[in-house]
Amino acid sequence: MRALAPRAGIDFSSNDYLGLGASSELRSAIAAALQRGVAVGAGGSRMLRGNDPEHEALEASAAAYFGAEAALFFGGGFIANTAIFSTLPQRGDVIFYDERIHASAHDGMRASKAVAVAVLHNDVQAFENAITAWRQAGGKGRPWIAVESLYSMDGDRAPLPELSEIANRHDAMLVIDEAHATGVYGLNGRGLASAIEGQPNIVSLHTCGKALGVSGALVLCSRVLRDFLVNRARPFIYATAPSPLIAAGVRAALHLSETQPERRERLQKMIAMTSQMLPQMCGVTASGSQIQPIVVGSDMRAVRLASAMQAHGFDIRAVRPPTVPEGTARLRISLTLNATEAEVERMIATLAKELQRMPV
């Protein structure tokens, strides 16, 4: 049974990759926003009185920052993904989604008028074949390709250039969930899709509660699709608007992401160090990203290893089915600037000992 556990130990489990969540810079930005009179609560849906100048200022800044025509701010990534998939694909369309995509996308697809078809993880040819077979069988609607740019449980990247080529060739829409790449990768932290962001057939999701250190989510798309979401997306229309204060905080976080590249540089150095140490000391293949799974197989072994690491002062959690496939229970190690390089080295050395102590 799931249970809530308090924060304890050195952070190796959060998504606060750049350490912005408790940063003095964000605290100062929030204090300044309060000082100039920004409201804490929106007071209602944005369709009513909840539309605040801070929401619109953030959306304008985000569109310019990410290089898209328009942006729409949601209260969180889960609700944003649900809105995208339940609203944009239409009856007669098909959503071809990577089998390891976020749970929020699955919830959105269940509420969609379009049919949803799972495709093998990161298999470019499988996407090509699935779309081709659908067309040959008489499919008349529009294909949608749905992926994460950086997968949350494996830390591997989607083949975005190849998928973009497929989308262009088949007149398909490409939906890219940048949740774990925003702030960490791309020019000024614009994400792994920054080279194709802004194309008319691209819809991207940038969450604001991970590397950006605040909360909420931004959907980047064409103005036409933004207007469609405003008019048709039930998770947007019927939800109280996000806090204007949070919108101000996100705008400040985008500015910090752009002007403090040293945070990304420090994180990349930590990733490189971990990628070298893990294979040598633990016999684990490195993911090459800030998300490092230690797949151990059985649920019990994952739980015991996590408990042992926590007892050593490292906040590392076990992830078990159904969040990951059966037989792939794991430790999900997250590298953040809330830990030092020395603490990362000590964590890996401790993990190596615990893996030896608890063999398969």
Q: Is 156 a catalytic residue?
A: no
Q: Is 98 a catalytic residue?
A: no
Q: Which two tokens stand for residue 91?
A: 């009856």
What are 220's strand-pairing partners? 71, 204
Helix boundaries (H) for 158-243? 160-169, 223-232, 234-237
Q: Is 128 a catalytic residue?
A: no
* List 210, 257, 315, 338, catalytic entry: 210
Q: Is 152 a catalytic residue?
A: yes
Residue among 76, 60, 72 at smallest CA distance from 227: 72
Crossing angle for the helix pair 160-169 and 124-136, nearest 10 degrees?
A: 10
Residue among 247, 214, 213, 190 at smallest CA distance from 72: 247
What Cα–Cα distance (Å) separates residue 353 from each residue in 4, 223, 225, 309, 350? 28, 54, 52, 10, 5
* List 11, 59, 102, 338, catalytic entry: 102
* List 98, 148, 178, 315, catalytic entry: 148
Q: Are 85 and 112 in contact (CB under 8 A)?
A: yes
Whole-angstrom distance, CA of residue 205 vs CA of residue 81: 7
Q: Which two tokens stand for residue 171?
A: 């007149």
Terminal alpha carbon distance of the chain: 24
* List 128, 180, 201, 204, catalytic entry: 180
Q: Is 298 a catalytic residue?
A: no
Q: Are 335 and 12 in contact (CB under 8 A)?
A: yes
* List 13, 23, 122, 152, catalytic entry: 152
* List 15, 204, 334, 338, catalytic entry: 15
State which amino acid sits at residue 42. A
Sign of CA dihedral 84, 86, 92, 96: positive
Q: Which two tokens stand for residue 159?
A: 């083949």
Helix boundaries (H) for 217-289? 223-232, 234-237, 244-259, 261-282
Q: Is 15 a catalytic residue?
A: yes
Residue among 295, 333, 294, 337 at smallest CA distance from 314: 333
Q: Is 148 a catalytic residue?
A: yes
Between CA 301 and CA 4, with CA 342 as vertex, the angle to 5 degrees is 40
Catalytic residue numbers, as ranges: 15, 102, 148, 152, 177, 180, 210
